[in-house]
Amino acid sequence: MDAISVIRTKRDRGELSPEQIDWVIDAYTRGEVADEQMSALAMAILLNGMNRTEIARWTAAMIASGERMDFGALSRPTTDKHSTGGVGDKITLPLAPLVAACGAAVPQLSGRGLGHTGGTLDKLESIPGWRAHLSNAEMLDVLDTTGAVICAAGDGLAPADKKLYALRDVTGTVEAIPLIASSIMSKKIAEGTGALVLDVKVGSGAFMKTIEDARELASTMVALGTDSGVRTVALLTDMATPLGLTAGNALEVRESVEVLAGGGPKDVIDLTLALAREMLDAAGLKDADPEKALADGSAMDVWRRMISAQGGDPDAELPVAREQHVISAPSSGVLTRLDAYDVGVAAWRLGAGRARKEDPVQAGAGVELHAKPGDTVTEGQPLLTLHTDTPEKFEYALKALPGSYDIAPAGTPFTATPVVRERIA
C-alpha cells in the first residue's frame, strides 16, 4: 500500500477497498502517512463522497486505532447523547443528571468549543474545582456512584480520529459528511454505550445549514450505530436561533441550574425532555418519567453529586464578567429573527470561545438574550447584553451583530419553528 494510490482512487471517484481504508488509517496514526497526504485524501472525500460500506469501514478502522470501553459491570443500562454543536447548547448539563435520575447510566464524553460553537467542558470548568480529565477507573467510579459522568475522552479512545479531526479543522474539510459521521460515531461506539441519541442541529448556527444536509448526516450516523449494534436514533433540532437566553460558559451553567431547579427557558426544557425520553426509551426504560424527575428535584440531586464527584463545588458562586454592554431595541414591535451564528460569533469574540484549541476562554464572557423571536419588544428596552472581562473586545463583538435581528411592526403574525424538526431512526 502507498498513500498516493489511495488518494488517486478517491480523487478519481473510485471506491476505497477495505484494505486501503485499514492501511491508510493505521499508517496515518503511526505517522507513516504525512499530514499533507491525508489532507489531500480528506479533500477528495469531501468532493467525491463515500458510500455506506466505505464509511462503515472507515469508522471501524478509527475505532480499531485505540481502546474500547466496557460498561458491562454496571447495574444500569447505558445511554448517551451527542450534539453536533450550536449556540447556547447547554442541554448536556441538565440532560445527563435527569436521565440518570430516571434509572439509566450516562457516560457523557464531551469536548471543548471551537469558533462560534460552545463546548460542554468549557462550560463546566467555570464551576470552581470541577475537572474534566478522569482516568477510566475514575470515570467508572463516578458513573457507578452517581449515574452520570461528563468528562473528556481519554487519549486511548479512537486516537486516529483525534489526529484527523485536528487536520480537518485547518484544511477546510470539516463539512465532509462521511468524515463528520465517522468522527462522531467512532468515539461513541468505542465508548461502549448501549444506546445513543443524536442531536443533529440545523440552521445558521449549526454546521449543517439545510435540513437536507442534516438529514443526510443523521441518517449516516444512525446507520453506523445500528450496524455496530448500538441502538441509535437522531433528532433534527433547530439552530437558527440560540438555545435558551444565554451563550457563554458560566452564563449557560447558571441557566442549566435554573432548569434543574424547575425554571428556565421553554425551548431548553422542551429539548431536554425530548432527548431524555429518547434516551430512556433506547435504554429500555420506557416507563420512566423525566418530567417528574425534573419537577421533584431528583435530577438536581444527581447534578450536585455528579459535580462534587469531579471536584466541583455545586454551591460556589459562578464567575461574572467584569464588564457589560447593553444593546437596546431600535424600535418597537415583534422580534421575528435573532440569528444564532451572529450571536455565537459575538460570544466567541468576547472571550467565550477560541480560534485555536490551545486558546484560553473567559468563564464569564458571552451574550445574554432579553427576548426571543415571537416576543414583543419596546424601543429602548435591552435586547442583548454582552459580557466580557476585556472591554476592548466589545467593538469587535459588535461588528458581528448588525443585521443579526429583525423587528416587525406590532401585530405582525409570527409562527415559531419547533425545536425538534424531525426524528430519524
Catalytic residue check, 168: yes
Q: What is d(CA 382, CA 399) in angstroms, rounded to the nearest whole number?
A: 18
User: For residue 326, what are the β-bridge partners?
Assistant: 385
**Catalytic member of 161, 199, 238, 339:** 161
Catalytic residue check, 161: yes
**Catalytic member of 39, 83, 183, 228:** 183
338: closest CA among 242, 250, 198, 207?
242
SS3 257: helix
235: closest CA among 273, 178, 188?
273
User: For residue 235, what are the β-bridge partners?
Assistant: 199, 423
Task: Please state, in angstroms and as integers, the Cα–Cα distance from residue 252 to each residue in 92, 118, 164, 320, following that order.
Answer: 11, 10, 30, 12
**Catalytic member of 116, 123, 168, 421:** 168
**Catalytic member of 10, 57, 81, 82:** 82
382: closest CA among 329, 325, 321, 324?
329
Query: What count of Cα atoms within 13 Å lies in the side-chain half-sphere of residue 202?
Result: 22
Query: What count of Cα atoms within 13 Å lies in the side-chain half-sphere of residue 397?
Result: 28
Catalytic residue check, 82: yes
Burial class (CB in 10 A: 0-12, 13-18, 19+), 178: buried
Q: Which three cell numbers stand for residue 6?
A: 489511495
**Catalytic member of 187, 277, 393, 421:** 187
Residues classed as catalytic: 82, 161, 168, 183, 187
